[in-house]
Amino acid sequence: MTFQILGVRFHRYTRRQAVEQILHWLAEKSPRMVITAGPEFVMMAKQQPEVLRMAQRADLVTPDGIGVVWAARRQGRPVEERVTGVELVLDLLETAQQRGEKSRVYILGARPEVLENCLSVMRQRYPGLEFAGRDGFFPAAEAESVVQEIAAFAPSIWLVGLGQPRQERFIVEWHGSLPPCVAIGVGGSIDVWSGAVKRAPAIFRKLNVEWLYRLLKQPSRWRRQLALPRFAWQVLRGADRRS
């Protein structure tokens, strides 16, 4: 059920399978870590051994990016779909509510006003679940007090949107200080859930060029997007070496 892209292990789960796996972990109350990884994360892991170790430590790594789906197909081990953080979490919360799960969800990240909007949206959409949160703008010296606040809430689901790889680093460092929960790195999803950032129109998602829409809306992302051609080149070089 796993495959590797440039040294990073991914799980061959559909979004539905990933949701069921996380719900199983919630039922058994075991501490787990989920990473949603696209080409940018893979390139970070290739360049930074610490990031690769975090990926190896994760209990579930989903293919969050069409580049990863493409690379898996080139290896002859295709995956059924992308499993993005923004959709995975919504499906998870929806399913938990439908099944009457009393999940407690703590959201860490984003600007204060964005976080408050996100919490308001979540509470309205999933009234059967309990939500709390803290913005992501705090100095490193306050990290311990932030974690104490999270621990006092005792979440079963901990959503961390501090950007990669900071969020994964934070989870690895502090997960053990919390009651058992499933920690999921969600990147910029909080902005999307709050309505502060709009997802790409359906046509962009259908054509698998959501990255292009984000670049058009935020030209300042161009430096980050340079990881995409580098990723493709590394995948192609690896294929050439194997042939």
* Tens digits of pLDDT across the chain (243 residues): 899 999 999 999 999 999 999 999 999 999 999 999 999 999 999 999 999 999 999 999 999 988 999 999 998 889 989 999 999 999 999 999 999 999 999 999 999 999 999 999 999 999 999 999 999 999 999 999 999 999 999 999 999 999 999 999 999 999 999 999 999 999 999 999 999 987 666 766 665 666 555 655 666 554 666 677 889 889 988 754 443
Q: Where are the alpha helices (DSSP H) in the chain?
A: 15-28, 39-47, 49-57, 66-74, 85-98, 112-125, 143-153, 166-174, 189-194, 202-206, 210-217, 222-225, 227-242
- Identify the pLDDT of residue 215: 56
pTM for the whole structure: 0.89
- Identify the pLDDT of residue 240: 40
- CA–CA separation, 104 and 35 (whole Å): 20
- Identify the pLDDT of residue 243: 37
- Identify the pLDDT of residue 219: 63
- Identify the pLDDT of residue 65: 86
Q: Which residues have a Cβ under 8 Å from the Cβ of 92 and sit 6 or more positions away?
A: 19, 22, 23, 157
Q: Residue 230: what residue type?
A: R
Q: How many residues does the chain have?
A: 243
Give the chain's radius of gyration (CA, Å): 18
Closest CA to 58 of 164, 131, 210, 197: 164
Q: Which two tokens stand for residue 126?
A: 């999933």
Structural domain total, the chain: 1
- Identify the pLDDT of residue 1: 85
- Identify the pLDDT of residue 222: 45
Q: Residue 213: what residue type?
A: Y
Within a 10 A sphere around the Cβ of 156, how many other Cβ atoms?
Answer: 21
Q: Which two tokens stand for residue 237?
A: 């070089």
- Identify the pLDDT of residue 159: 98
- Identify the pLDDT of residue 205: 64
User: Which residues constitute the domain of residue 38?
Assistant: 2-242
